[in-house]
Amino acid sequence: MVITCNYLIGVFPLLLQNTSVSPDGRLVAVLGDSPECSIADAESGKVLSNLKGHLDYSFASAWHPNGQILATGNQDTTCRLWDVRNLSESFAVLKGRMGAIRAIRFSSDGQFMAMTEPADFVHIFDAESDYARGQEIDLFGEIAGISFSPDSEALFVGVADRTYGSLLEFNRKRHDHQYLNCMF
C-alpha cells in the first residue's frame, strides 16, 4: 500500500507532539512544544482557537465520542477538559501523580477516560460523574500506551520496561449485571 499526501493542511510554528481529529472530522487538535493547544478546521487548517491554561509542553489529546469534549495532556502533570461550545477556559483540571500526561483515551461508550504518566501510573475517570470519580492503577514500568476494547469492557496498558515489558488487561467489575462502585 502506498499512502500519498494530497495537500498540506497547515503549518504550525512549533514542534508538534500530537494531533487528534474530532469524531465528526471537522476539527483537529494540534499540540506540541507550547502550553497552548490549537483547534483548527480539519479541512482548511485555519486555527479557530488557542486553548490556554497549561503551563508547559503538551503531549496528548483525545476527543470524547460525543465530539463536545476535548482532553489535553501536558508536562505540567495535568489533563484539562474543554467543552468545544465554550473554549475560553477548561471546565476541569485532572491531576497526575508525578509525571507528564503522555496518553489519553476515552472508552467507545464515553463513560470512561484514561490517562497515563510516562511511568507507573494510569488514571481512570468516570465521565458520567463529571470526572469526579476516579481510580489510579499503580504499576511498575514505563508506559508505552493505553487502549480501551471496542466494547469498553477492558483497558489495555502497554508496559515498555526492559525487564517487565508486558501488555496488561484490566476488566470492568460486574455484579448481577450492574457495575460495582469500583470502575475497573
CATH assignment of the domain containing 80:
2.130.10.10
In a domain, 148, yes or no: no
CA 158 to CA 163: how far, in whole Å?
Answer: 13
CA 82 to CA 92: how far, in whole Å?
Answer: 7
In a domain, 2, yes or no: no
Q: Which residue range(s) make up the domain with 31?
A: 16-143
Count how many domains the chain has. Answer: 1
CA 115 to CA 78: how far, in whole Å?
Answer: 10
> Per-residue pLDDT tens for 53-81?
999 999 999 999 999 999 999 999 999 99
pTM (two decimals):
0.88
User: What's the confidence (pLDDT) of residue 66?
Assistant: 97
CB atoms within 10 A of CB 7: 6
> Per-residue pLDDT tens for 98-153?
999 999 999 999 999 999 999 999 999 999 999 999 999 998 889 999 999 999 99
Residue 127 DSSP one-character state: G
In a domain, 161, yes or no: no
In a domain, 124, yes or no: yes
What φ, ψ does residue 128 adopt, rounded to 5°?
Answer: -75, -15
